[in-house]
Structure 1
Amino acid sequence: MFQSLRNRIQLSLLIAGLIIAGGLWGFVELSEVARDSDPHAFDMRILLAFRTAGDPSDPIGPSWFEEAVRDITALGGAVVLIYFTAIVIIYLLLVRRWGLAVFAFVSIAGGQLLSSLLKLGIDRPRPELVSHLSQVHTMSFPSGHAMLSAVTYLTLGALLSRAMPNRAATLYVFCVAILTTLMVGMSRLYLGVHWPSDVLAGWCAGFAWATLCWLASQWLGRQDTAPDNI
């Protein structure tokens, strides 16, 4: 039994390491794309695929779908993410899980700071190939919505998974977090405010950071449950 548990822990660490390494590698490769003076063909093809042929100002689909996409993209906005994070942190404080509350704040605030620094470092302008269907005021690379939704929802999912009664419930929490992250990123392409490489880079950085946070939460959990040394 002990050997089986040890193997599961080693497998989890291996998968986490692969996700972090893959995310970092993907981000570095995509940053080279972002630094090019001209947009790549795959960026333009994908962005135009969300618009009516011959009219880059008209998104595909009915008008109600456009409004629905705006609702989805709001799930990755600063106000919504801060709201959900505050709910979880206040709950952790109420149940006296001080360490986890601090961990949640530092992890998500750290992801926000990292996203802002990366935007300043790459300094890529927003796409002008299609009209913007949402107001934007920052640089384009990486997508802050894609990155911060991954950081926030996956980090909160990691914390919530500690209270899940079984593996099925844990899997459900992470699937919802991943699905929400993917939907937010795709919404940024539909609204024409990011190049696809921006969104991919945001996912790469966000998943890598969230995985680091998950590893930290696992270590923190073992520290919480470890017996005191006398």
Structure 2
Amino acid sequence: MRNYFNLDDQQMARPGPHLSRVLLLFVAVLAALILFGVLAEDVAEGDSIFFDQPVLFWLRGFSSEPLDQLMRAVTWLGSAAVIIPLLLLAAWRLQWQRWPVIYLATANLGVLLLNLAAKHGFERMRPAFWAPLVPVSSYSFPSGHAMQSMALACSLLVVAAGLRQKWAWRLLAAAYVVAVGTSRMYLGVHYPSDVLAGWCASFCWCAGLAYATRRMRMNHQNGSFSLRQRM
């Protein structure tokens, strides 16, 4: 299956769709980095973020028992119980190709470690406007579910670039990420800024790691080719 790691530098730099996507990705990563930095600075200084409370109370206005149950189910979709089997299924579908599988594992395990480090670094307390609808025990910033769902979506899109109907899969991935993030806010366990920061951090991590992994694959391939020539 064709994926991001099959593209060489000439293909990436060629005028046209590939170059346009690279430039767009660069702008998106830069914007995400800036937004994460702004949110992280406010959280580190203990400042309130203007949209946190209004968004939470707006979502609270839709509260009902059926919606509570639905949101609990949606938030479960961003848990390890769902993410790990999906990653294993993707690796099997990719026939355990070395570089795509390395990327999948590193992207999703790495984002988990980054989240743990960030939570203990910022030590932001959870929202306390009402009793949370699911049990939580860790810090709030950034949202682990938001980071994990974004990492899953991004890493799968990277390794499955050869799929047909790309826009349909991208829309499905976006809907999944937004749904999980929204469920965390609705359930009262995260501020909107926690979710937004989690999305930004995870997106930047996956994008940077994809580039680094591709460079490693190309260097490894070139090194192997040079060795065969000497022999």
The alignment's TM-score, normalised by the length of structure 1, stands at: 0.82
Summarize deviations over 1:67-108 as a string: whole Å, max 9, x none: 11111111111221122112222443xx25122212211121
Q: In the alignment, is the contact (CA less than 8 A) between 1:154 and 1:178 conserved in 2?
A: no
Q: Report whether the alignment pairs 1:113 with 2:113.
A: yes
Q: 2:84 aligns with which of 71, 82, 86?
A: 82
3-state SS, counterpart of residue 133 of structure 1: coil
- Corresponding residue for residue 56 of structure 1: none
The range that moved more, 3-12 or 138-147, is 3-12
Q: Report whether the alignment pairs 1:210 with 2:206.
A: yes
**CA deviation after TM superposition for structure 1 residue 37, in Å:** 3.4
**CA deviation after TM superposition for structure 1 residue 217, in Å:** 6.0
Q: Residues 36 and 131 (structure 1 numbering): CA distance in 2 closer, same or farther, change over 3 Å?
A: farther
Q: Residues 38 and 12 (structure 1 numbering): CA distance in 2 closer, same or farther, change over 3 Å?
A: closer
RMSD: 2.6
Q: Residues 100 and 224 (structure 1 numbering): CA distance in 2 closer, same or farther, change over 3 Å?
A: farther
| Structure 2 Cα separation of the partners of residues 13 and 116 of structure 1 | 30
- Corresponding residue for residue 179 of structure 1: 175
The range that moved more, 126-135 or 97-106, is 97-106
- Corresponding residue for residue 136 of structure 1: 136
3-state SS, counterpart of residue 193 of structure 1: coil
3-state SS, counterpart of residue 189 of structure 1: helix
Q: In the alignment, is the contact (CA less than 8 A) between 2:99 and 2:213 conserved in 1?
A: no
Q: Residues 5 and 170 (structure 1 numbering): CA distance in 2 closer, same or farther, change over 3 Å?
A: farther
| Residues 187-226 of structure 1 mapped to structure 2, 5 A cutoff | 187-216=183-212
- Corresponding residue for residue 5 of structure 2: none
| Structure 1 Cα separation of the partners of residues 169 and 217 of structure 2 | 18
- Corresponding residue for residue 68 of structure 2: 66
| Superposition misfits of 4+ residues, deviation over 6 angstroms | 2-5, 220-227
Q: In the alignment, is the contact (CA less than 8 A) between 2:132 and 2:189 conserved in 1?
A: yes
Summarize deviations over 1:8-64 as a string: whole Å, max 9, x none: 332222111112111111111001222243533421111111224xxxxxxx24321
| Structure 2 Cα separation of the partners of residues 218 and 97 of structure 1 | 13
**CA deviation after TM superposition for structure 1 residue 216, in Å:** 4.6
3-state SS, counterpart of residue 14 of structure 2: helix
Q: In the alignment, is the contact (CA less than 8 A) between 1:35 and 1:122 conserved in 2?
A: yes
Count residues in correspondence: 216
Q: Residues 6 and 38 (structure 1 numbering): CA distance in 2 closer, same or farther, change over 3 Å?
A: closer
| Structure 2 Cα separation of the partners of residues 119 and 199 of structure 1 | 13
**CA deviation after TM superposition for structure 1 residue 210, in Å:** 2.3
Q: Which amino acid aligns with 1:51?
A: R
Q: Which amino acid aligns with 2:203?
A: F
User: Which runs of 5 or more residues in structure 1 are unaligned?
Assistant: 53-59
Q: Which amino acid aligns with 2:183?
A: S
User: Which runs of 5 or more residues in structure 2 are unaligned?
Assistant: 1-9
Q: What is the identity percentage for the equivalent residue pairs of Structure 1 and Structure 2?
A: 29
Q: In the alignment, is the contact (CA less than 8 A) between 2:143 and 2:190 conserved in 1?
A: yes
Q: 2:52 aligns with which of 33, 43, 47?
A: 43
Q: In the alignment, is the contact (CA less than 8 A) between 2:91 and 2:97 conserved in 1?
A: no
Q: Which amino acid aligns with 2:73?
A: D
